[in-house]
């Protein structure tokens, strides 16, 4: 099996004459944590939406495990093992933490939202659900209503719900956005923990998160790849420093120090 799990070839997206993503060639290595970073307006979100099939490209190709998935729908790529977290795994606030993970397991079994099933039938999923909660340090919150969870714990629950789908590749959209320092550290450690045996692609603004856990980084600017490599390599790239400017370049230097 090839080491490249996800690849794009000249991936391009235009909106009424504006090129948001411009002939992007990406190669995501199997088993890596790979980050997409870049200044505001660089095209990260558009690129991410193309990869997760929430947008269709104007031109170019997307390959997963060597198969062309350019024309596939989000549900089709989910069945192949590409799961977008924090999007399709949105939690149900007025269900317990355990019930949310159980819904994720039902999705994986193809029996989504069979709320009319007997409790005995659904309870058979409890052991696996509790195992997933243990992986993200939420065992003690199993019977807590999700609406009552702190923000960082909700993100951990979203990871557990995503894991219930048994992804081969997880795509994380700003996993630490809006978090305090303690929650950022907790979720970063969780991402590192759940990356064992799978590939993760993430869009992330927090450079300390990126520097701490990512194997490879692609820097976008004006819709094109500006630089690619390890964190140390991109942090020392003069073009990257110039693209970020001001406070964000200081973040790059600070995280690298």
Q: Give per-residue pLDDT as tens, 60-107.
A: 999 999 999 999 998 899 889 999 875 444 578 889 999 999 888 887
Q: Which residue has the higher pLDDT, 257 or 125?
A: 125
Please give the C-alpha separations between residue 212 and each of 49, 61, 137, 163, 252, in angstroms, as whole numbers. 25, 31, 20, 22, 12
User: Model confidence over 201-239: pLDDT tens digits?
Assistant: 999 888 888 998 999 999 999 999 999 999 989 988 888
**Cα–Cα distance for residue pair 157/162, rounded to 1 Å:** 9
Question: Which structural domain range is residue 108 located in?
Answer: 90-164
- 115, 139, 164 - which closes a domain: 164
pLDDT at 119: 62
Outline where DSSP puts E strands in 16-159: 18-29, 33-37, 59-64, 67-68, 82-85
Is the whole-model pTM more than 0.75?
Answer: yes
Domain co-membership, 158 together with 198: no
Residue 145: partners with Cβ closer than 8 Å, 6 or more residues away? 93, 94, 95, 96
Task: Provide the CATH number for the domain around residue 28.
Answer: 3.40.50.300
Q: Which residue has the higher pLDDT, 131 or 85?
A: 131
Domain co-membership, 160 together with 176: no
User: Model confidence over 141-200: pLDDT tens digits?
Assistant: 999 999 999 888 888 898 898 888 889 999 998 888 888 888 888 889 999 988 988 999
Outline where DSSP puts E strands in 66-223: 67-68, 82-85, 169-173, 199-203, 216-221
């Amino acid at each position: 099996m090839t080491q490249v799990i996800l690849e794009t070839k000249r991936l391009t997206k235009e909106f009424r004459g504006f090129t948001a993503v411009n002939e992007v060639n990406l190669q995501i290595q199997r088993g890596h944590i790979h980050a997409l970073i870049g200044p505001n307006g660089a095209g990260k979100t558009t690129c991410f939406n193309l990869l997760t099939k929430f947008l269709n490209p104007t031109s170019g190709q997307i390959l997963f495990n060597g198969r062309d998935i350019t024309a596939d729908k989000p549900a089709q790529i989910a069945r192949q093992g590409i799961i977008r977290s924090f999007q399709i795994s949105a939690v149900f606030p007025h269900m317990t933490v355990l019930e949310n993970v159980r819904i994720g397991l039902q999705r994986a079994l193809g029996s989504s939202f069979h709320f009319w099933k007997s409790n005995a039938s659904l309870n058979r999923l409890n052991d696996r659900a509790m195992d997933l909660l243990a992986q993200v340090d939420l065992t003690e919150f199993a019977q807590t209503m999700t609406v009552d969870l702190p923000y960082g714990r909700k993100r951990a629950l979203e990871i557990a719900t995503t894991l219930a789908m048994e992804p081969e590749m997880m795509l994380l959209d700003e996993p630490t956005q809006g978090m305090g320092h303690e929650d950022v550290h907790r979720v970063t450690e969780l991402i590192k923990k759940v990356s064992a045996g799978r590939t993760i692609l993430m869009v992330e603004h927090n450079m300390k998160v990126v520097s701490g856990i990512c194997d490879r980084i692609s820097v976008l600017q004006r819709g094109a790849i500006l630089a690619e490599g390890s964190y140390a390599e991109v942090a020392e790239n003069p073009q990257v420093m110039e693209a970020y400017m001001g406070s964000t370049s200081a973040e790059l230097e600070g995280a690298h120090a």
